[in-house]
Amino acid sequence: MKRLFGTDGMRGEAGQFPLDAQTVRRIGSSLARRLAESAEGGLAPRIVTGRDTRESGAWIEQAFTAGARGAGAECLSAGIITTPGVAYLARIVPADAGVVISASHNPYQDNGIKIFSPSGRKLDDATERLIEADIKAATSQDEHTAREAKHVEEGEDDYKESAALRQRYLDHLKEEAESSGLSLAGLSIVLDCANGAASGLAPALFESLGARVIPINAQPDGRNINRDCGSLHIEGLQRTVLAEHADLGVAFDGDADRALFVDGAGEFVDGDATLWVMAQYLASRAELKDGIVVATVMSNIGLELALGARGWQLKRTDVGDKYVLEELLRTGASVGGEQSGHIIFPRQSLAGDGMMTALFLLRAMHDTGIRLDQLVRGFTRYPQVLVNVRVREKLPFEEVAEVARTIEETKANLGERGRLLLRYSGTEPLARVMIEGEQQAQIERYANTIADAIREAIGETSSKP
């Protein structure tokens, strides 16, 4: 069986394996039993669940809960809440695990399951493999649990419990902001909630801190999550910021674990630019540990050069917030993240939190008295080109003579003012050629030359045997 858990949990089309009701019940049952094995004193494991606004979220959460309860777990639901909200609640309830039903920035037809430990970290690989083995085994006990699990109706007490859990999370964010002296009085902020999990939370939070809030895409209907809005579609946010003469625009994704920004002039501020702003702010407070910022191999070389000009260091990881967090914990660095806007402040939370990221950025603006368009100065985004090549086999590039030669020539031509990243897709038969440099036409030529060499040697339409 193919591995079900990726770097960001399990994801797929709702209703299809592994997100069909029976398999989801087995996942709930398996997690409960695995948690019970490591529990002290024979106590029943406690699991906090939450979901985003997809129409499939309620029945998937219900199926998971039925399986977990059938295996002896106590389950508490926070209802519709952000991914980092569940991660926070797992720690403070306290619970043995937090489970989020969400497919992040994917369209509504998809869904997923993310599992957090009480520390806020994603579930460890070993336990994920055990759950996968349980699903594959499909034992008679699993079948019994799936058949006997009862439909659970949400009553008034359930709604009150969910509302109370969500409020604990909002109170936590507000207290964090107020303890740092942050006030948003006098600021106008546009919030694009992606018709997702932030819709019922973010406007309330930022209004409580004094801002004039203009929410957009905050009316989820189960199918409009991420549709032409949120962090994947910044254009509407840019237009609204300009029309409202707002000081800042914030775009969340479906589960609000990431945030991207638009400054008062309508200019886009991505995760790399956010890391640059936060590095400067933390350094001004002597809080940029060892001058290190952590990002992935996809972050723009402009960030690396901007940090280097200040004597700071960019440490790169594989793509995925899981790997960013691992490096943050290994180095003790103060901040890290991805170009997509998934930013982690490990001293506050081990889970990326879009609302927390926005509060940190606003804190930098508040404390320095400097507008966002000025704070991003010093960071220049270099032109980037990405070319995909379909391949019939995934040979190491250095073992393909013509490809290896072309790579070395390209690196020599780019020098220190450019960057080449060559990798295979983890899910498709694709080789990805990414080049950054100072001149768009030049890097396009380099990328196409490497792509042609790959296509000739191992491409699906290669002329070579």
Report the SS3 class of residue 358: helix
Is the N-terminal amide bond of 18 cis, ω within 30° of 0? yes
Angle between helices 125-137 and 21-38 in degrees, nearest 10: 130
pLDDT value of position 159: 76
Residue 142: pLDDT over 50 = no
Q: Which CATH class is domain 5-164?
A: alpha beta
Burial class for 147, CB neighbours closer than 10 Å (0-12, 13-18, 19+): exposed
pLDDT value of position 123: 87
- Tokens for 280? 């400067």
User: Quick one: average pLDDT of 405-432?
Assistant: 92
pLDDT value of position 374: 98
Domain with CATH 3.40.120.10 in the chain: 5-164, 180-375
Collect all residues with Cβ–Cβ distance below 8 Å to 330 and sequence separation of at least 6: none
pLDDT value of position 151: 45
- Tokens for 42? 């024979």
Residue 86: pLDDT over 70 = yes
389-408 pLDDT tens trace: 999 999 999 999 999 999 99
- Catalytic residue, chosen from 56, 77, 104, 162, is 104
pLDDT value of position 350: 92
Residue 38: pLDDT over 90 = no
Angle at 335 between CA 331 and CA 340, to 5 degrees: 120
Residue 298: pLDDT over 70 = yes
Residue in this structure with the two tokens 């400054």, named with its chain if needed? 263
Residue 336: pLDDT over 80 = yes
% of the chain exceeding 90 in pLDDT: 86
pLDDT value of position 155: 55
pLDDT value of position 149: 39
User: Quick one: average pLDDT of 274-286?
Assistant: 98
pLDDT value of position 461: 72
Whether residue 104 lies in the annotated active site: yes
CA distance 372 to 101: 34
pLDDT value of position 160: 87
pLDDT value of position 147: 39
User: Quick one: average pLDDT of 107-124?
Assistant: 93
Q: Are 297 and 318 in contact (CB under 8 A)?
A: yes
**In DSSP terms, which residues pair with 433 in a beta bridge?**
387, 422
Q: Are 418 and 409 in contact (CB under 8 A)?
A: no
Collect all residues with Cβ–Cβ distance below 8 Å to 375 and sequence separation of at least 6: 277, 280, 281, 364, 365, 368
**In DSSP terms, which residues pair with 112 in a beta bridge?**
11
- Tokens for 175? 């207290």
pLDDT value of position 157: 61
pLDDT value of position 148: 38
Q: In this structure, which topology does domain 180-375 adopt according to CATH?
A: Alpha-D-Glucose-1,6-Bisphosphate; Chain A, domain 3 (3.40.120)
- What architecture (CATH level 2) is domain 384-458? 2-Layer Sandwich (3.30)
CA distance 131 to 128: 5
149-189 pLDDT tens trace: 334 455 556 778 999 999 999 999 999 999 999 999 999 99
Q: Pick from 116, 80, 96, 129: which is nearest to 8 by CA?
A: 116
349-398 pLDDT tens trace: 999 999 999 999 999 999 999 999 999 999 999 999 999 999 999 999 99
